[in-house]
């Protein structure tokens, strides 16, 4: 088990170096950047490529870590906050590597990965989260949680793109970042959020079906359910705003970020502070 | 009047309603809900009395069944239906008349259309250009695409309405209950057998399903090393219709539309006082099943005991019965005891025996007390708490779920980038539908 955790911990360092290489082109003009550039002698694109390779290595190490955990525990590694968190980061990076590598989100993805992995290893992994309670020992666990991770990881990328869009459209910041290309990221964010909405719907529905199977009620308005519903409503508003009413990209970007924040709240606050039927899925 | 109706079914109003629905949900973070835990509400009453009274009047403890929430719901349904009916009408007309020209009536505000005529010798170049812009070139598929998409849209929203109606019907015609059963005893499905029985207003109790089964045995297994005491499985072995079956946590007993779920388990004890058997079910207090038992010995003598499944230093260290021990004390009441759950501590006086207040008993052991006589701890047993849920709408709800899923998938994933491509002798006419933002 400690092997698995150590391998995952090393990925934090990989992501840190990767994040550094991602911002190197931006530091290029500053004196520090200039000095580093003298030593490394890399082209601007070269830095990005190094960073991308490092991201791939970091992701692979998380995947190996999860695989080891899976083999040792002989159960789906989706049963508690720690496992959810590392699987989420693995999938977020896989999404980035496979679909969004040409967009300038590598740095933010790295920072987010470092943040999540540090919290997971420092606070969520207490060595006691090995055994699953009987209610979780079911095929619904794999289905429901996998869908949740898929949708949250894509919502995260949507929110990151929206965040970048808002920054690019801010005139003051824009002067600083004039060198960055912006290939219609608002359209891309919009597409992601719209395409993932059905998957989030499916997540909630599978959750309801599982709840009926385990507790005898589809919907009990426990905190987790309520917040999933809130997230669903926010993205429903987003969908109507983008397809039916033609809201401005700025407004949509704000909603995308709010939606992502509700996901975060649902993960951190609801699991730790508020108890409910889902509370055993906590730390 | 007409303008009001138009406002009700406008998209703007629907979005405002969705917002309100969202806002009404947010107070559930701070305010405890009855649906979740009545104990927390009770605690809140003790801590903030005046605030609790105000909250109670505003129905903030039952947000999800409050007037505000339900009225938003109803308005949302009205708005949805008001929006859907004209769209369905247009849609049916479109399919009947096959007048594809009027297809732009659907979502007319959202998309822009343009006609482009391209000479035939430049088609290839133009289509490549479109592909670069991620338009999908499918002959005449655009029309079908937009029809399928609209079908999905309608299907999804009708599915939502159906779900809400079904939830309403289910509340009317369903029943729910909780009962406890000690090992060896038999359950008969009548309202009297339940500890807690709630049924819908239109449910006829005479039609209650004829279910009866015997609980033969209860098995639980717990981890012994890491995370000591975490349950591995719970198994309730029952005999239903002369067949042996096992109910586990994710595997309820299904009879028609009724399901019986294993909810929790605890220990009960049997005592013997002067050849009278006293059975009582104990309430688990912690994860290691340290349990509190109350029992009545005579009209004015009662006992309160802690049952430790695995005793060590006044604590239970494991949920299974490895070292069972009962720590009892006895009280004399000045007024006759009618209800064990409602005892006035002011009326109680603890009984001493040789200056001893507490008596430790292992199964089979007995003590002699002056006024009470012999008390023998005969045995302990498992009891199981089951939850029964009867819902006649289950199959239909599955239908509505399928409608929602198919609807939303069709409406979002169906490609329809190009509307029409007409080949003429010297040129090809493209009619392109595009949205400023997404191309969706």
Contact list in A for residue B15 (CB cut-off 8 A) is: 237, 240-241, 245
pLDDT recorded at residue A101: 86
Mutate to test the interface with A, among B397, B438, B439, B440 (most CBs of A within 10 A): B438
pTM of the shown model: 0.87
pLDDT of B107 over the 60 cut: no
Mind listing the pLDDT tens digit of every residue in chain A (283 residues)?
778 888 888 999 999 999 988 888 777 677 777 777 777 777 778 888 899 999 999 999 999 999 999 998 888 888 888 899 999 999 999 999 999 888 888 899 999 999 999 998 888 877 666 778 888 888 999 999 999 999 999 999 999 999 988 888 776 666 555 545 555 788 788 889 989 999 999 999 999 999 998 888 888 888 888 899 999 999 999 988 887 777 888 899 999 999 999 999 998 888 777 655 555 444 4
**DSSP H helices in chain A:** 2-27, 31-40, 44-73, 81-99, 106-119, 139-168, 171-176, 185-215, 223-239, 249-272
| Chain A, window 217-246: residues with a beta carbon less than 8 angstroms from a chain B beta carbon | 217-223, 226, 229-230, 233-234, 236-237, 240-246
Convert the pLDDT of each residue in B154-175 to its tens digit: 999 999 999 989 988 988 898 9
pLDDT recorded at residue B142: 53
pLDDT of B440 over the 50 cut: no
CB-closest option in A130, A186, A221 to B36: A221
CB-closest option in A209, A243, A276 to B36: A276
Q: How do strand B276-281 and strand B418-423 relate by DSSP bridges?
A: unpaired
Nearest residue in chain B measured CA to CA from A210: B250
| Interface confidence (ipTM) of the complex | 0.87
Convert the pLDDT of each residue in B256-305 to its tens digit: 889 999 988 899 999 988 888 889 999 998 888 899 999 888 888 888 99
Q: Assess contact for B198 and B177: CB atoms under 8 A.
A: yes
Convert the pLDDT of each residue in B136-150 to its tens digit: 554 444 566 677 888
| Chain B, window 317-356: residues with a beta carbon less than 8 angstroms from a chain A beta carbon | none
| Chain B, window 16-35: residues with a beta carbon less than 8 angstroms from a chain A beta carbon | 18-19, 21-22, 25-26, 28-29, 33, 35
Convert the pLDDT of each residue in A198-250 to its tens digit: 999 999 999 999 999 888 888 888 888 889 999 999 999 998 888 777 788 88
SS3 B218: strand
pLDDT recorded at residue A233: 94
Quote the CA–CA distance of B422 and B427 in Å, as a whole number: 9
Sheet (strand B112-119) strand order? B112-119, B427-434, B418-423
CB contact under 8 A, A137 and B19: no
B314 in reach of chain A (CB within 8 A): no
Quote the CA–CA distance of A202 and A147 in Å, as a whole number: 8
Quote the CA–CA distance of A182 and A165 in Å, as a whole number: 8
Convert the pLDDT of each residue in B398-410 to its tens digit: 999 999 999 999 8
């Amino acid at each position: 088990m400690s092997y698995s955790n150590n391998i995952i911990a090393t990925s934090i360092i990989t992501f840190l170096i990767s994040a550094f290489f991602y911002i190197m082109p931006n530091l290029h003009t500053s004196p520090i950047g200039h000095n580093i550039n003298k030593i490394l002698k890399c082209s601007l694109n070269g830095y990005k490529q190094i960073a991308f390779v490092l991201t791939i290595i970091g992701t692979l190490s998380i995947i190996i870590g999860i695989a080891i955990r899976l083999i040792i525990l002989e159960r789906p590694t989706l049963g508690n906050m720690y496992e959810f968190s590392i699987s989420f980061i693995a999938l977020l990076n896989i999404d980035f590597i496979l679909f969004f590598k040409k967009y300038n989100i590598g740095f933010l993805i790295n920072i987010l990965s470092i943040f999540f992995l540090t919290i997971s290893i420092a606070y969520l992994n207490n060595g006691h989260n090995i055994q699953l309670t009987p209610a979780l020992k079911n095929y619904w666990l794999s289905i429901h949680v996998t869908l949740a991770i898929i949708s949250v990881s894509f919502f995260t990328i949507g929110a990151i793109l929206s965040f970048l869009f808002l920054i690019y459209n801010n005139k003051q910041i824009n002067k600083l970042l004039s060198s960055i290309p912006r290939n219609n990221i608002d359209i891309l964010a919009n597409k992601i959020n719209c395409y993932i909405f059905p998957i989030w719907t499916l997540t909630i529905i599978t959750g309801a079906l599982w709840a009926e199977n385990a507790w005898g009620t589809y919907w009990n308005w426990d905190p987790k359910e309520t917040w999933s519903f809130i997230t669903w409503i926010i993205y429903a508003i987003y969908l109507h705003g983008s397809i039916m009413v033609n809201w401005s990209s700025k407004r949509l970007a704000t909603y995308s970020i709010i939606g992502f924040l509700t996901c975060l709240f649902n993960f951190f606050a609801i699991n730790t502070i508020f108890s409910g039927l889902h509370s055993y899925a906590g730390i | 009047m007409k303008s009001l109706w138009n406002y009700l079914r406008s998209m703007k109003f629907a979005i405002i309603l969705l917002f309100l629905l969202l806002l009404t949900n947010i107070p559930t973070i701070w305010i405890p809900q009855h649906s979740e835990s009545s104990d927390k509400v009770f605690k809140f009453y003790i801590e903030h009395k005046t605030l609790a009274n105000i909250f109670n009047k505003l129905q903030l403890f039952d947000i999800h069944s409050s007037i505000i929430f339900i009225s938003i719901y109803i308005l949302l349904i009205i708005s949805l239906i008001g929006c859907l009916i004209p769209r369905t009408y247009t849609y049916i007309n479109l399919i009947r008349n096959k007048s594809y020209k009027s297809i732009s009536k659907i979502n007319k505000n959202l998309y822009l259309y343009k006609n482009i005529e391209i000479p035939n010798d430049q088609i290839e170049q133009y289509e490549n250009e479109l592909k670069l812009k991620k338009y999908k070139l499918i002959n005449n598929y655009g029309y079908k695409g937009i029809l399928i998409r609209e079908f999905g849209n309608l299907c999804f929203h009708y599915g939502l309405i159906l779900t809400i109606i079904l939830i309403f019907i289910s509340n009317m015609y369903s029943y729910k209950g909780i009962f406890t059963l000690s090992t060896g005893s038999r359950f008969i499905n009548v309202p009297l057998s339940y500890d807690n029985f709630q049924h819908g207003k239109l449910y006829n109790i005479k039609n209650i399903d004829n279910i009866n089964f015997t609980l033969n045995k209860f098995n639980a297994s717990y981890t012994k090393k890491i995370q000591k005491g975490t349950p591995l499985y719970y198994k309730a072995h029952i005999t239903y219709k002369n067949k042996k079956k096992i109910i586990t946590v994710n595997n309820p007993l299904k009879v028609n539309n009724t399901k019986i779920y294993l909810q929790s388990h605890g220990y009960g004890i049997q005592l013997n006082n002067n050849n009278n058997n006293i059975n009582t079910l104990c309430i688990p207090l912690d994860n290691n099943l340290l349990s509190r038992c109350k029992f009545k010995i005579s009209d004015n003598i009662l006992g309160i005991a802690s049952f430790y499944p695995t005793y060590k230093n006044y604590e239970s260290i494991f949920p299974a019965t490895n070292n069972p021990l009962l720590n009892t004390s006895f009280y004399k009441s000045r007024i006759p005891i009618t209800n064990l759950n409602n005892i006035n501590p002011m009326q109680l006086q603890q009984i001493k025996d040789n200056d001893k207040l507490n008596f430790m008993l292992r199964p089979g052991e007995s003590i002699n007390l002056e006024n009470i006589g012999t008390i023998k701890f005969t045995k302990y047993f498992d009891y199981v708490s089951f939850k029964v849920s009867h819902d006649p709408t289950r199959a239909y709800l599955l239908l509505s779920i399928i409608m929602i899923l198919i609807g939303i998938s069709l409406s979002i994933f169906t490609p329809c980038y190009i509307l029409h491509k007409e080949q003429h002798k010297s040129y090809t006419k493209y009619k392109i539908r595009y949205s400023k933002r997404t191309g969706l």
